[in-house]
Structures are given as C-alpha cells and as structure tokens.
A = this chain, B = another copy of it.
C-alpha cells in the first residue's frame, strides 16, 4: 500500500531528523577519537546546536498536527504494520519531547560537554572533586527533567523509560535482589577456589598484533567493514551514522593482552545488531536497537557466551598461538581458556568478568537511586562507592580512577543507563538458550569459526526489527515469553564456575 500524503511527509521529517542525529553522532565520535583538544568548547556548542535543531524538528507544530491526522488514519492499518508502529512510536517520543523545553536541552548538552572534559581532567589528577561540581550540575538538570513529567511510581522510572520503555525501579529491585543473593553466593564460592596459572598472559603481546587479531575475529563474526571501521579511543564504544556506517572503537590495555579482543567482540556484537537492522528502516526511528538492554544483550552474548567459550577457542587458539610466538607453545587450550576465565573481582567494571559484572551495576543502580531520591549528596559519592565495592565484592578501591571516576556515563548525563548492562547479561543468556534450543548446531559451528548460524538466528529473531519492538516484545518473539528471567544466566554461571 502506498504511503498517504501525511505518511510521506512524516517520513521526510523523520529522515531529516535522522540525518541531523547522524551528524551529531559523528561530532561525538570525532570528539572521542581524533578531535584536537583545543576544540572542546566549540564542540560543545556544536553538539548543543545540533541537539536543539533535532529537538525543534521533533517538537514542531507541523509534526504535532501531522501526528494527530495520522492517528486518525492508521486505524485502518494492521497494528503490527511498520506504519502503525511508526506513528505510535513517534507519537510517544513527541509527547516526551514537547514536555522538554529547548532551553533545558541546550543547557544539558553544554553541561555534558563540559562535564566530559572535567571527567578527563579529574581522571588525570585521580581526583573526584574536580568532577563533582559538574556531576552536581548534571544531577540537578536530571531532577529538573523529571519534573517535566507526570509523577511515576518512582522518579527513577522516568529516567529508565528513556533506555528501556516500560522498565521500572520495582522490576529492577526484584531482579537485582535475586542477583545480589544468588549471584553473590556463586561469586563467593568461585573466588574461594584455587586460581589456575595465568602467568603466560603477562608476557609480551605487541599492541599491533592484538589489534590485528581483533580485525580477524570481527571479520569472521561478519562485521561489515564496507559499512564500518574500527578506531582507538579511551573508552570503547559503538556508534552509527545511519545503517550504512556503524563504527566501533577499542583500546589496548597494558598487562591485559586480550582486553582489546574482548572489547572488540563486545562492540562487534553491538555493531552486528545495527548492521543487521532491515535496511528499509534507514533514516527512521526504527534504525536503532529495541532498547539499551536488548542492545547490551547482543554485546554480552558475543563477548561472554561466544568469546569465552571452549568452542570459540577451539578455533582461535591455534591461530593466537602462532600470532604471538614464544608465549603460548607450552600452554594447552584448556589452560589458556581457564586463564581467560579466572574468576576475579576487579574494581573496574569494563574489566570485570561475567561472574562479577552485575555487582558493579547493582552498586551504580543503588547510588543513582540514592542521588535521585536526594538521600545522598554528590560530595558523598566517592565514599559511598568505595564502601559499596567493599560490601559487594570485597574490593578496596585504591583511588577515584579505579572507583567513582571509571565510567564516562555520568559525565554524559546518563543516569538510568547502567541497569541495561545487567539486563543485557540476563537477556543474553535467555536468548542464547532459545537460540540453542532452535539451532542445536550453533556450538559446533562456532568451534569451526563459523558464526553464520548464530548471527542469522539473531538477525531473524532480534536484529532485523530494529526499534520496531520493545524489550518485552523482542523477548516474546525470540524466547516465547516477554518476561525477564535471571534463571538462564545464573545457571550458566553455576555450571561454569562451581
């Protein structure tokens, strides 16, 4: 069926907004990869102006009246059709956007850009106090943002909704309490076991070869280099400027020779998702993940369930042994894999293993909630952080870089983002279980360096829909149930570590 006049105009507006968002994403990518340092202040103005331009477009009177007309028109359409869903999704976003004043958008974007610089400086000086006033500023902006909306069951729910439609503090409290208890028990048991030898990981692994390995693995995973590239940055990330340009970054970590590989597999998982979205959704709001948690489930699935499996290394270990001569000749594949999977409580989230990772998230969730509830001051954050790390993982945080300053998210004003990582872990195991039930040959293919069966299953059940469906709908389609279920993840950990 041909689009109506109004639908055509809607798609024009959405296309132009998508283009401006792509430009904004490029400004951001450039800021984190190649931008000269002297340009930080100008870049913050540029990002703010772009955001404002998108905001203007997405809150225009024309769009409002277009949506009202289309709400009337779509009654005739299949409620599962792209057009019906598009109008509903844009309508929801429009309602949220019109409640957010342009002046707030500009102030927030500028505050974020400045906080980002301050975060860098605070890290260089290992001193949270340099960053604290900026975080205070961002927190106040967040509270102001919450005030624009009808009160929710919990004010934090309003923040969660931006990352995961329909998610709530109540659901997270339940899920995280179970993880804290059951995953906590597995962690204590695993950490008490004797550690395997991992001394061969301390040998010399030249950075250039680490990066060459990441490229080989990404290529086999099916990352499309014709529509992407990999660069280096302080904090690895994935970004896209439309469906035809999905970029990833990685970093080489001294003393952790496979960190670059795992971060590349992780970002590669995000990138396969974006590259796998149906191209008919280009330049529409569907050209995105279903939610941050579904997005994270993809990176987690590839990083942990694929990348840390015996099957993965059955194929790659011989190649890696050849790439780093002198390091691994006397090491067996089993010893190598055991060394990669040594359960260890790290103070750093991005270096945490699959065993302890969720505890990092639970800590951040608790702290964010306390800040939002006004039960804790920003100036108390570093101490609360350190106490939490001690309680959850028995870790003594040595300095703020290893502690409260480690993540960029708060510097980006992203409160409510962190839970999606833990949800991603939980969902990754739910999807993995479902995939293996439907395609039992997947592990064997992986052992032969063939990721097509897994990738195609994910493409069919998750990727191609982009943001047409939300978390619960994707879960229902892929696993048969819309519910979050910590079971598969806890089972996986138990089997592997106990």
Q: List 24 A-B contacts (CB under 8 A).
A: A15-B45, A19-B49, A22-B46, A23-B23, A23-B24, A23-B26, A23-B27, A23-B50, A26-B26, A34-B229, A34-B231, A35-B245, A36-B225, A36-B226, A36-B247, A38-B224, A39-B244, A41-B244, A42-B241, A42-B242, A42-B243, A42-B245, A43-B245, A45-B242
List the number of copies, as a whole number: 2
* Residues of the B chain whose Cβ atoms lie less than 8 Å from the Cβ of A243: 42
Contact call B53/A227, Cβ cutoff below 8 A: no
- 15 other contacts beyond A36-B227, A38-B245, with CB at 8 A cut-off? A20-B50, A20-B53, A22-B46, A30-B30, A34-B34, A36-B247, A37-B226, A38-B224, A38-B226, A38-B244, A41-B244, A43-B241, A43-B245, A45-B242, A46-B241
- The answer to whether A228 has its CB under 8 Å from any CB of chain B is yes
Given known contacts A42-B243, A245-B43, A228 and B23 CB-to-CB distance under 8 angstroms: no
- The answer to whether A484 has its CB under 8 Å from any CB of chain B is no
- Docked Cα-Cα span, A22 to B52, in Å, equals 15
* Residues of the B chain whose Cβ atoms lie less than 8 Å from the Cβ of A228: 36
Contact call A39/B245, Cβ cutoff below 8 A: yes
Contact call B15/A49, Cβ cutoff below 8 A: yes
* Residues of the B chain whose Cβ atoms lie less than 8 Å from the Cβ of A22: 42, 46
* Residues of the B chain whose Cβ atoms lie less than 8 Å from the Cβ of A20: 49-50, 53
- Which residues of chain A have a CB within 8 Å of any CB of chain B? 15-16, 19-20, 22-24, 26-27, 30, 34-39, 41-43, 45-46, 48-50, 52-53, 224-229, 231, 241-245, 247, 282-283
- Docked Cα-Cα span, A227 to B243, in Å, equals 31
- Docked Cα-Cα span, A35 to B53, in Å, equals 24
Contact call B229/A36, Cβ cutoff below 8 A: yes
Contact call A283/B45, Cβ cutoff below 8 A: yes
A128 shortest CB reach to chain B, Å: 27
Residue among A41, A46, A228 facing the most chain B CB atoms (10 A cut-off)? A46
Given known contacts A15-B45, A50-B19, A241 and B26 CB-to-CB distance under 8 angstroms: no
* Residues of the B chain whose Cβ atoms lie less than 8 Å from the Cβ of A49: 15-16, 19-20, 23
* Residues of the B chain whose Cβ atoms lie less than 8 Å from the Cβ of A231: 34
* Residues of the B chain whose Cβ atoms lie less than 8 Å from the Cβ of A38: 224, 226-227, 244-245
* Residues of the B chain whose Cβ atoms lie less than 8 Å from the Cβ of A39: 227, 241-242, 244-245
- Docked Cα-Cα span, A247 to B35, in Å, equals 9
- Docked Cα-Cα span, A227 to B36, in Å, equals 5
Closest B residue to A45 by CB, please name it. B19
* Residues of the B chain whose Cβ atoms lie less than 8 Å from the Cβ of A283: 42, 45
Closest B residue to A34 by CB, please name it. B229
A282 shortest CB reach to chain B, Å: 7
Closest B residue to A49 by CB, please name it. B19
Closest B residue to A228 by CB, please name it. B36
Residue among A23, A43, A225, A245 facing the most chain B CB atoms (10 A cut-off)? A23
Given known contacts A26-B27, A41-B244, A244-B41, A19 and B46 CB-to-CB distance under 8 angstroms: yes
The 8 residue pairs across chains A and B that have the minimum distance between CB atoms: A19-B49, A39-B245, A38-B227, A42-B242, A38-B226, A19-B46, A23-B23, A39-B244
- Docked Cα-Cα span, A48 to B38, in Å, equals 28
A324 shortest CB reach to chain B, Å: 25
- Docked Cα-Cα span, A228 to B244, in Å, equals 28
A196 shortest CB reach to chain B, Å: 41
A44 shortest CB reach to chain B, Å: 10
A259 shortest CB reach to chain B, Å: 24
* Residues of the B chain whose Cβ atoms lie less than 8 Å from the Cβ of A41: 244
- Docked Cα-Cα span, A23 to B37, in Å, equals 17
A120 shortest CB reach to chain B, Å: 15
Candidates B34, B53, B225, B242; contact of A53 at CB < 8 Å: B53
